[in-house]
């Protein structure tokens, strides 16, 4: 019996030394055994996980391509491990340091405001032009300045025209002849009547007022000048008439605008134009009157889009009591749009938009997160509807999304959403950021920035250059020392702001 025990110990010792020599750990028993020292049952080994957090596990000990040994996961630790390759885990301490905040997805009706910039313009239907239909000369001006307020029927100017004088005389003679032949009959009376009627119609076609025609008929005397009056109450917006000038038929001498009601022409962005409906009421604010709000209605959506600004012109009509609204003023238009019904929504800050797809981070439990691809619907100023990917009550991360990306291997988890997991011996999943190799020139600890002279960046088609980066967190600055050659991974957090999310020493043999 003693011989058998010695043989078993020898075999076990030989296996232990063999595994130590190979640099791997011997697998723990698959079933629990009793620890001789404590008398407690040892935990059961479940699997080995990738030490870098990649979605890769192994039933046996192994190393990754960088030579790092896979980590054993026991039954007692299983609850702390991600249950799928798409999940990421961050320690509670880091979650607190990053300031991660979550909010439950809720059903709500998304009421929003369509905002647009616009300008005050006269109502085109209330603009009148005063244009004589005969040739003549301006004898006298009654309204002699642009911007003058005039009432309906108020004299604007007087004109002299040889044609007008001739037409008046022709009508006066015909009227007198008709009166003298009123007892005559036959073709003579009929011919005179036709001559009088044609002369009268000629004067009417020249816009001679009924009042002036009646005075001409009553007195039989022609007048040297003719007075033109304002056709409407309004403001003289254009005056070309100058005393003594000669004008031609159809030439516009005055333009009168009735500003008791005006238009607002608002430039609505292309993505919002479907929300604008005819008859909708909008609030209009003018910079000149910050304490006032004017109300107008949408009356027309223009049929063309401005290619330069990607906007569509929308016309609103506003009453203008007191003439406060002046043509040419800038206006800010707010058009309330009611939502179609309750939908599952999340805060706008919860969405991570890569340009090709939109993601949100779901907190499954303390320190464990799962990225999900979502399909978005309409949005308000603060919330966005989620049509697919999130259920009501899910805890979504609304703050520090980007820092979770920097502090964890979120990129590998996002890669796992494509359904393609890397093989055991494969290289890590492709990152969604950009990579560069360079030398650290300077580090500003207080500002959290680093000046880096890096080589070409193929993913951005950048040449070699020296530029300033920000760092996602203070811990990354420890690996960035002036003169150090490093490999960095970085992303564009917002236009023109490049942030380093990962640092490691550069391979000294790279490029050889």
How confident is the model at residue 293, as a pLDDT? 92
- Read off the tokens for 435: 């990579």
What average pLDDT does the structure give for the chain? Answer: 78
Q: To the nearest whole percent, how much of the chain has pLDDT over 90?
A: 29
CATH 2.40.50.100 residue ranges for the chain: 132-251
How confident is the model at residue 414, as a pLDDT? 52
- Residue 142 or 89, more confident: 142
Average pLDDT over residues 251-256: 94
User: Residue 272 pLDDT more than 60?
Assistant: yes
Average pLDDT over residues 333-338: 86
How confident is the model at residue 76, as a pLDDT? 54
- At 306, give phi and psi (nearest 5°): -80, 110
Q: Is 256 exposed, middle or buried (0-12, 13-18, 19+ CB in 10 A)?
A: buried
Residue where the block lists tokens 């107008």: 296
376-397 confidence digits (pLDDT tens):
887 777 888 888 888 888 888 8
Q: 112-121, 171-180, 415-424 — which one is most confidently predicted on average?
A: 112-121
User: Residue 78 pLDDT more than 80?
Assistant: no
Q: Is 487 exposed, middle or buried (0-12, 13-18, 19+ CB in 10 A)?
A: middle
- Read off the tokens for 109: 């009706």
Q: 14-18, 195-199, 220-224 — which one is most confidently predicted on average?
A: 195-199
CB-CB neighbours of 205 under 10 Å: 11
How confident is the model at residue 388, as a pLDDT? 87
Least confident of 44-48, 131-135, 502-506: 44-48
At residue 186 the predicted structure's pLDDT band, cuts being 50, 70 and 90, is low
Least confident of 87-101, 283-297, 411-425: 411-425
Which of 74, 70, 21, 29 is closest to 424 using CA atoms? 70
User: Residue 255 pLDDT more than 90?
Assistant: yes
CA distance 210 to 213: 5
- Residue 15 or 357, more confident: 357
- Residue 448 or 239, more confident: 239
- Residue 260 or 339, more confident: 260
Q: Which fold has domain 94-110+341-416?
A: 2.40.420
User: Residue 443 pLDDT more than 50?
Assistant: yes
- Residue 150 or 413, more confident: 150
How confident is the model at residue 29, as a pLDDT? 46
Average pLDDT over residues 357-370: 83
Average pLDDT over residues 82-111: 73
Average pLDDT over residues 101-107: 87
404: enclosing H helix or E strand: helix 401-407
12: enclosing H helix or E strand: helix 2-22
At residue 13 the predicted structure's pLDDT band, cuts being 50, 70 and 90, is very low
Q: What is the number of residues in the chain?
A: 512
At residue 282 the predicted structure's pLDDT band, cuts being 50, 70 and 90, is very high
CB-CB neighbours of 341 under 10 Å: 9
User: Residue 331 pLDDT more than 60?
Assistant: yes
CATH 2.40.50.320 residue ranges for the chain: 434-505
- Read off the tokens for 62: 């192994």
Q: Please report how many Cα atoms fall inside a 13 Å half-sphere around the Cα of residue 463, on the Cβ side.
A: 1
* pTM, rounded to two decimals: 0.52
Compute CA distances 174 → 206, 209, 275, whole Å. 18, 19, 65
How confident is the model at residue 426, as a pLDDT? 32
How confident is the model at residue 26, as a pLDDT? 44
How confident is the model at residue 329, as a pLDDT? 94
At residue 139 the predicted structure's pLDDT band, cuts being 50, 70 and 90, is very high
CATH 2.40.30.170 residue ranges for the chain: 261-337
CA distance 312 to 302: 7
User: Residue 241 pLDDT more than 90?
Assistant: yes
* Helix, strand, coil distribution of the chain in percent, nearest 5: 25, 40, 40
For strand 497-505 and strand 465-471, is the pairing parallel, antiparallel, or unpaired?
parallel
453-462 confidence digits (pLDDT tens):
999 988 888 8
User: Residue 252 pLDDT more than 50?
Assistant: yes
How confident is the model at residue 295, as a pLDDT? 93
Q: 26-35, 112-121, 192-201 — which one is most confidently predicted on average?
A: 112-121
At residue 166 the predicted structure's pLDDT band, cuts being 50, 70 and 90, is confident
For 434-505, CATH gives 2.40.50.320
At residue 184 the predicted structure's pLDDT band, cuts being 50, 70 and 90, is low
- Residue 390 or 475, more confident: 390
Q: Which fold has domain 132-251?
A: OB fold (Dihydrolipoamide Acetyltransferase, E2P) (2.40.50)
CATH homologous superfamily of 261-337: Efflux pump adaptor protein, beta barrel domain (2.40.30.170)
How confident is the model at residue 373, as a pLDDT? 86
């Amino acid at each position: 019996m003693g011989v058998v025990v010695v043989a078993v110990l020898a075999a076990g010792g030989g296996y232990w030394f063999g595994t130590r020599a190979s640099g791997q750990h011997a697998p723990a028993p698959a079933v629990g055994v009793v620890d001789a020292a404590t008398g407690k049952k040892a935990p059961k080994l479940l699997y080995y996980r990738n030490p870098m957090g990649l979605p890769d596990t192994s039933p046996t000990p192994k190393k990754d391509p960088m030579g790092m040994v896979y980590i054993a996961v026991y039954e007692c630790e299983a609850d702390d491990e991600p249950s799928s390759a798409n999940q990421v885990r961050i320690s509670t301490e880091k979650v607190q340091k990053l300031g991660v905040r979550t909010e439950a997805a809720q059903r709500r009706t998304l009421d929003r405001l369509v905002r647009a910039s616009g300008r005050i313009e006269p109502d085109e239907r209330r603009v009148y032009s005063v244009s004589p239909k005969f040739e003549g000369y301006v004898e006298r001006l009654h309204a002699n300045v642009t911007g003058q307020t005039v009432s309906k029927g108020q004299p604007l100017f007087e004109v002299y025209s040889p044609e007008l004088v001739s037409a008046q005389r022709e009508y006066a003679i015909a009227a007198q002849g008709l009166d003298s032949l009123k007892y005559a009959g036959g073709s003579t009376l009929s011919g005179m009547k036709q001559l009088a009627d044609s002369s009268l119609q000629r004067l009417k076609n020249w816009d001679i007022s009924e009042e002036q025609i009646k005075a001409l008929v009553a007195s039989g005397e022609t007048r040297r000048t003719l007075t033109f009056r304002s056709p409407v109450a309004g403001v003289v917006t254009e005056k070309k008439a100058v005393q003594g000038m000669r004008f031609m038929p159809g030439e516009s001498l005055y333009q009168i605008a009735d500003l008791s009601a005006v238009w607002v022409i608002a430039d609505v962005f292309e993505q919002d134009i479907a929300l604008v409906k005819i008859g909708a009421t909008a609030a209009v604010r003018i910079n000149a009157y910050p304490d006032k709000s004017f109300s107008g209605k949408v009356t027309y959506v223009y049929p063309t889009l401005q290619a330069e600004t990607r906007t569509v012109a929308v016309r609103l009509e506003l009453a203008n009591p007191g003439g406060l609204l002046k043509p040419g003023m800038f206006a800010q238009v707010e058009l309330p749009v009611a939502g179609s019904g309750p939908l599952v929504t999340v805060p706008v800050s919860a969405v991570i938009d890569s340009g090709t797809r939109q993601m949100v981070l779901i907190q499954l439990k303390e320190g464990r997160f799962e990225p999900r691809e979502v399909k978005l619907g309409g949005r308000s100023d603060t919330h966005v509807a989620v049509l697919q990917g999130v259920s009501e009550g899910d805890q979504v991360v609304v703050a520090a999304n980007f820092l979770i990306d920097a502090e964890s291997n979120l990129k590998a988890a996002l890669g796992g959403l494509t359904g393609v997991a890397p093989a055991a011996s494969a290289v890590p999943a492709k990152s969604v950021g950009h990579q560069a190799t360079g030398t650290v020139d300077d580090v500003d600890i207080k500002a959290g920035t680093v000046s880096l002279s890096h080589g070409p960046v193929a993913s951005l088609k950048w040449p070699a250059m020296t530029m300033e980066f920000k760092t996602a967190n203070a811990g990354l600055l420890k690996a960035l020392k002036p003169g150090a050659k490093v490999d960095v991974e970085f992303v564009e957090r917002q236009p023109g702001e490049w942030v380093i999310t990962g640092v490691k020493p550069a391979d000294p043999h790279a490029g050889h």
